[in-house]
Amino acid sequence: MKKLLKIVIAIAVVFVLAVGAVFWMTSGLVGVADGFFTAIKAQNLTAARGFLSEDFKASTDEGALRDFLTRSALLHFKEAHWSNRQITLGRGELNGAVQTDSGGVVPIKLIFVKEQGDWKIYAIQKPTAGLQSADTSPTMPSESAQIELVKLSMHDFVASLNAKSMAHFRETIAPIWQRQATVGHLNDTFGKLYGFGAALTVLEGLNPILEGAPTINDQGILKLTGYYPTHPDRVNFELQFVYTGIGWKLVGFSIKTSRPDQATGTPANPASQRAL
């Protein structure tokens, strides 16, 4: 009996040490989160942006950040509780909930990256309130949001085709893609499609049809595949997005007609920046 008791005590000690190690390793994440929300509560968005990563700041201006915080009730921050903390290969996560001054509870997830040795908030994810389908998760946008992502991306792309310059399109894509592709590079890639701009304008009045289940891979890349029901040849697409800041940004783009000999794009490959 005494031997069993010693084993139980030993296991308990190991468990406590393990929990303590996790809390110690992730204390830097919690410190950054506390600093961010303290600045938010004081309505000091300039100070709050100092806790954000460069990609976050590049993809989300102060107005968009304020709008998100207002809609999420996070401007009324009182305290945060983190039920799950982890650090893996230079990436950190805090999962938990924020309590507001009115007593409300906002489920939230913070994603961190290291920049020049310091933890910075790379993304803020908040589950959508209300009814959700069974396969919806905090990291997966709803079907209606997926359709809006496709429509907005296509609108920006077609607008740039009609302008015969990819400058506008480049402003809308993820910072990680912007760093790898200048306007000149995008013009070289898509310049042969400028003649299709007028024809593709018809897509503005159509809703895209999504095919298959959307996926998010290990790198956090969301892939949406489908088509526009144009006649006689439908327009197929494959778009890839990464979550930066408070929303999804485009990192891969492919568009073509249903006939192989009339391709208007090539397979998306954001990693190598090949024929994006």
Mean pLDDT over all residues of the chain?
Answer: 77
Residue 273 lies in a domain: no
Work out the average pLDDT over 189-205: 81
d(Cα 90, Cα 10) in Å, to the nearest integer?
32
Q: Where are the alpha helices (DSSP H) in 138-262?
A: 143-163, 167-172, 175-178, 183-190, 197-200
Which has more confidence, 151 or 12? 151
Residue 245 lies in a domain: yes
Residue 190 lies in a domain: yes
Which has more confidence, 18 or 253? 253
The one-character DSSP state at 89 is T
C-beta of residue 120 within 8 angstroms of C-beta of residue 53: yes
* Residue-wise pLDDT tens digits, 201-213: 888 888 899 998 8
CATH number at residue 89: 3.10.450.50
Q: Are residues 204 and 94 in the same domain?
A: no
Residue 240: the pLDDT is 93
Q: Supply the range of the domain harboring residue 97.
A: 2-125
Q: What percent of the chain has pLDDT over 90?
A: 15
Residue 36, Cβ neighbours under 10 Å: how many? 23
Residues linked to residue 112 through DSSP beta bridges, in sequence order = 92, 121
Q: Are residues 10 and 86 in the same domain?
A: yes
Residue 268: the pLDDT is 34
CATH number at residue 214: 3.10.450.630
